[in-house]
A and B are shown apart, each in its own frame.
Chain A
Amino acid sequence: MNADHFTVLLYDLTTGKGERIHLEGRDRVAGGSGLAALLFNRYGQPGAAWDAPEQPLIFAIGPLTGYFPLMSKTICAFTSPYHDQYTESHGGGRSAMALRLTGLDALVVIGCSPGPCFLEVNSTHAHTRDCGFLWGQDVFEAGKVLRRISKGSGHRSILRIGPAGENGAAIAGINVDTYRHFGRMGGGAVMGAKNLKAIILQGDAVLPLPQGNRYAKLFAEVHNQVTATGMMKKYHDLGTPANLEALNDLQSLPWRNLQATADEAVEHISGQQFAEQALLRNSACSGCPVGCIHVGFVREKFMDSHRYLYRQVSYDYETIFSLGTMLGVTDMSGVLSLLDLFEKAGMDAMSAGVALAWATEATAKELISVEETLVPLTFGDCASYRQAAHSFGNGANEFYRLLGQGTLKAAAVYGGEDFACVLGQEMAGYATGEVFFAAQALGFRHSHLDSGGYSYDQLHADKDIDAAVAFLVRDEASRAFMTSMVACLFARSVYTETLMAECLHTLGYENLAATIPESGANIQKIRWQTRFAGGFQPASIPIPKRFFQVITWKGPIDPRYLQSLQAAYGQAICALAGR
């Protein structure tokens, strides 16, 4: 609270030594996204490969983390194996609160352990422990063993990888506390390259709070706002899967590798269906009363005489899109069972589903065969997808290992670039139109959360390039500040600039509170400069032909508008970075 410097633990896996350091720059970069970029500029090696031992793996939180509701996310930053450039991935669970209660603003892991290990950090100690016995274990089994080994049930966060990360898949994620992830851009492979199976954050610090009742009163107001408004219902009730029917109605839901944008079969896997028939319970990130995590269950008969097992799988809109509609799988158990397999392997389920969708169409077009895929892939054939998911997640052959580097890497060898649904990385589930396609293709982390392009598409039928680009730039700056606090972006309607300023002021960050727009723009600029330093060139990002063939509620995609948007947004990004 009210620290004008950052407290950072720099841990070197090569030597097994760590040091706590203090860094200046709070008023300039705030924390979270801004702090991660600051740290990467200090410890990162822009010219070196993603898996060079000296490359840092950074976890950063913000000045409001833990002090206010829904300030519950952690920024993970690293050089991505996907494109060998700087990137971020965001995750929740207990990671943010646990990091706060280690007394740190950030953890920076450098070096490479001589053998498989896990890193334990609390408020007074940091050390690694050998864990060769965990290498090769899936995410859930590893979690069970780590919970047994370490102390602090409920007051710790366990980040771990599965076989996909150990094998260097560029779409391998980092699992956080079973149900959350640093999913995208290959953070799991970065841990694997460092021989780092897991990180356990023990939140055992006791931190002071501001004197007087102003802070407690403001906390109660924010708590009441997030629990009393429709936000609670929106994210807790059906959750993000409510988008399935809404986007299908708008002809914006990708089906069967984006060969269609609507299908009546959505009724079988709608948010309502999942909530009524598959939802087991909700769960929450620490410090968030909303509880948006939806945990579904799958019951499987594994032997005669009614021998069953059950699995608990957290689902969201994005994973139902990637492993459901994108693969033409329209039964809920099928979607959840595929999701469970990718969870175990520690592979990002969004990217994996989109990659399998490409492989299915490539099979139909006879570019690949069972020689590559090991099982015949057909849209809707969940049984085959289950076998493929196991092979893919564990890198069973050369084809799947290549596909794990990204769909376009496989398409470069086998053909089929035209129908690879890749916008900087495998697409998110929004075939809303030109603005989203340009926004994801060029967005900082190629995420639907970089800016609200999908929302802009749904509200604007006009084709005003300047207005759209201005929106993307402005919205990104605003989100860059929120992800420097670090807020869950579900809370963006609650945490207005005014409220964030009040929260910062209450904790003693007067300068930051007075300069939110300027800080957001500055963080946006620093992040882009960091990305450019690794070789980013907006003009080199392809938008495959498939995206030009999409039909949405606005009609067919306008190729000239999309190309013009891509060019104009690319120029705007270059200008942001001073290029």
Chain B
Amino acid sequence: MKILTAPRMDRCIGCHSCSLACARLLHHRLSWDTAGIRIQSSGGLTTGFTAVYCLACISPPCAEACPTGALQPRRDGGIVLRKKLCNRCGSCAPACPVDAIYIDQEGEPFLCLHCGLCIPFCPHDCLEMAEASNLRPRSSSKPLEPAS
């Protein structure tokens, strides 16, 4: 199973094309925030940019924190979001260790679903989909039950 990766962020020019594409194509909004990938300057523009997005935990703490099962672990990391089950409690966002979940004013969570829609819009090829199993050694922690 593939996940989104950002292996070449040192090429990033901060144009926000990726996050705007996610907001536009997946969520049908114009926004810097309601996107699964968000670009921040790492201490001012002089020090380059950081992509904030789901790093596809094998045992996602956000899914553990979700009381309704709206966030379900994917087999090789990351989550599947079942919007209909979300009660908008916001418990998932603080559970994420890399601050990858944005909660909007209505309490709806926005996070990367590893769909890759953002990738064609990056002018410098910073992003790519990669086979999760090739990227990292097997986690010692026991995975949660994957979504069926």
Contact = CB atoms under 8 A, between A and B. Distances in A.
Interface in B32-66: 32-34, 38-46, 48-50
B15 A291 contact: yes
Given A143-B44, A206-B33, A207-B30, A287 B13 contact: no
A147 B42 CA distance: 11
Contacts of A163: none
A179 B44 contact: no
A273 interface: no
A448 B83 CA distance: 52
Interface string B11-38: 0011111001000110011111110001
Interface in B93-130: 104-105, 121-124
A312 B123 CA distance: 23
B73 to A, nearest CB: 27
A254 to B, nearest CB: 30
A287 B32 CA distance: 10
Nearest to B40: A154
Contacts of A144: 44
A1 B43 CA distance: 33
Interface string A60-72: 0000001101000
Contact of A209 (B29, B33, B50, B124): B29
A144 B44 CA distance: 7
Contacts, number: 95
A285 B15 CA distance: 6
Given A154-B39, A286-B16, A206 B123 contact: no
Contacts of B41: 153-154
B46 A312 contact: yes
B30 A155 contact: no
Contact of B45 (A1, A97, A283, A288): A283
A563 interface: no
Given A223-B121, A287-B15, A155 B32 contact: yes
B37 to A, nearest CB: 11
Contacts of A568: none
A445 B50 CA distance: 38
Given A154-B39, A154-B49, A232-B123, A178 B44 contact: yes
A272 B39 CA distance: 30
21 contacts: A97-B32, A100-B30, A143-B44, A147-B44, A203-B32, A204-B33, A205-B31, A206-B29, A206-B104, A207-B30, A207-B31, A208-B30, A219-B24, A281-B13, A281-B48, A286-B14, A286-B32, A287-B15, A290-B123, A291-B15, A312-B46
Sorted nearest first, the 10 A-B pairs with minimum C-beta distance are: A154-B40, A284-B15, A291-B13, A289-B123, A284-B13, A207-B30, A206-B31, A155-B32, A153-B40, A178-B45
Given A286-B32, A291-B123, 16 more contacts: A69-B17, A101-B31, A147-B43, A154-B49, A155-B32, A155-B40, A177-B45, A206-B30, A209-B28, A209-B30, A281-B13, A283-B45, A286-B16, A287-B15, A291-B15, A291-B124
